[in-house]
Structure 1
Amino acid sequence: MPDIAEATAALIGIAAAAQQGPGDTLRVVLLVSMVGGALLAWFLLRGYGRGDTAEHPSEQPGDTPARGASGDAGDANA
C-alpha cells in the first residue's frame, strides 16, 4: 500500500502551486502596458524634433488666398 502522507503532501503542493494567483498574467499585462506606453510616447513625441515649423509666413498652409480672389489691390478679397 502506498504511503498516504507522501501522496497527500504532493497533492497539497500541486494545489498550492495552482493557487498562486494572477502573478504571470499580471506580469504580462504590466509588461505590455509599459511597452505600449513607450511606443505611444515615441509616436506622439517624434514630430517635435523634425523642425516642421515654416520660417516664412507665406509657407504657412493657412495663408492661401480665398477662392475667387484675384489678388488685385482693389479687390475686396485681397
Structure 2
Amino acid sequence: MPDIAEATAALTGIAAAAQQGAGDTLRVVLLVSMVGGALLAWFLLRGYGRGRADEDPSERSGDTSARGASGDAGDANA
C-alpha cells in the first residue's frame, strides 16, 4: 500500500504548481504598455521640433485672418 504522506505531498506540489497566477501575463501586459507608451510619446512629440525656429508666423499655411477668406476690410466677418 502506498504511503499516504508521499501521495499527499505530491498532490499538494502539483496543485501549488498549477496555481502560479498570472505572472507571465502581467509581465507581457506591462512590457507592451511600456513600449506602447514610449511609441505614443514619440509620435506626439516628434512634430514639436520641426521648422519652428526659422518660420515666420505670418507665413504659416494654416493661419487665416479674422476678416475671412477675401481679406477685404469691408468683409462681413471683419
Q: TM-score, normalised by structure 1?
A: 0.64
Report percent identity of matched pairs. Answer: 73
Task: Supply the RMSD in Å over aligned alpha carbons.
Answer: 2.9
Provide the secondary structure at the position in 1 that maps to 2:74.
coil
Q: Taking CA–CA contacts closer than 8 Å with sequence separation of 6 or more, which of the two structures ends up with the larger relative contact order? A: 2
Paired residues for 1:3-18 under 5 Å: 5-18=5-18
* Deviating more after overlay: 29-38 vs 53-62: 53-62
Paired residues for 1:1-78 under 5 Å: 5-52=5-52, 55-60=55-60, 61-63=62-64, 66-68=68-70, 76-77=74-75
What runs of 5+ residues in structure 1 fail to find an aligned partner?
none
Cα shift at 1:57: 3.8
Cα shift at 1:51: 2.0
Size of the aligned set, in residue pairs, is 74
